[in-house]
Amino acid sequence: MDRVILHCDMNGFYASVELLSRPDLRDKPMAVCGDPESRHGIILAKNEIAKKYGVVTAETIWQAKKKCPDLQLVKPHHDRYKEFSEKINKIYLSYTDMVEPFSIDESWLDVTASQRLFGTGRQIADMIRARVKSELNLTLSVGVSYNKIFAKMGSEYRKPDATTEITRENYRDLLWPQPVRELFFVGWATAEKLEKLGVHTIGDLAHSDPLALEALLGKQGSILYSYANGLDDSPVTLYDQREKIKSVGNGITFKRNLKGMEDILTAVTSLADTVASRLRKYQMKAYGVKVDIKDPYFKTISRQKQLHLPTNLASEIRMTSLEILKTSWNLSDPIRLLTITAINLTDETADEQLSLFDSAADGGRGKRESIERTMDDIRKKFGDSSITFGQIIDNDLGIDL
């Protein structure tokens, strides 16, 4: 028997939450942006009215204003978004304990065993949409399918406030005609490579030679082939599973040895960015950072440092990792493998014990968090390679963008 998976995706989440406290903007085009005072700030979310003007997520404020001169700009309040995310997931948990948050405004639900109590997957999806609207005054779109990938694509298929069911019988008609970049996990760079190969639609990808795809994209090629053909069998984890995560790390064996501070900065910048983005995805923070170093002769050391405040910011993980390296390693000695791991994890919503000095030094932390979460939003929409640090571009260390 097939599983029944829902993917619940809030509609214009940041903008919708802001409108709850700004009803005066409800009938006006509005957008949430990283820095309302800057023409170069990025649009994080927009309401339906702004969307009709062509305003899109991740474009600059000046581009959005050119399309919609009357666009009303609101700064983000991430604490509110976390609060509402918890309330929304609490509603999901009243239908199943198999709830896997994918981001602050998206979750997968496995409701296979819940159907005896609440009805079909579509009926459960419609019940959830009705409750979120009546209890929180927010809307969401839900995809219903037999696997996570198609459920995700179902929630994207029709918006706002809709349920779309993708089955074994209809997925070819609904999904295969769509551009290949619409397939989950296909970013701009991957889509460009596929289009050069003559793969323009999801259907083209489904009919491609898996070996040719693997030669072009590596392991990702065979994964995308499976997704296009509905072969995903990844499970939906229990909601509290993320609390069991003990550490989040990333390591690279480089194409050549790291030699000197410039190479080390490139490597640490990339690794810290990946670790921090994964922490935010899991809604966790770290009270410590561990660095493992291996040289070409297999000499290995492991060092760690505890933090006064928990973090999921790349800038702070990067700085701490560099401090460890500078005090523990001769920077002129070659490095073959480097791993950065966030340790001593806690839920990102947990209370923090702040001292007077911590509070005084915290002035720029909110701004850095806003910038890094903006990067998360851009990558979520346009792929992991859509935005990165200049330090990493055109590296010859084997660090992929």
pLDDT above 70: percentage of residues in the chain? 89
Question: What mean pLDDT, rounded, does the chain reach?
Answer: 88
Indicate the pLDDT class of residue 38, thresholds 50, 70 and 90: low
pTM exceeds 0.75 for this model: no
- Residues 246-286: pLDDT tens digits? 889 988 888 888 888 988 998 999 999 999 998 988 888 99
What letters, b where the CB count within 10 A reaches 16 and e where it falls short, cover 80-118? ebeebbeebbebbeebbebbbbebbbbbbbbbbebeeee
pLDDT at 39: 62
pLDDT at 358: 45
Indicate the pLDDT class of residue 399, thresholds 50, 70 and 90: low
Range from 106-110, 330-334, 375-379 carrying the lowest mean pLDDT:
375-379
Give catalytic residues, as residue numbers: 106
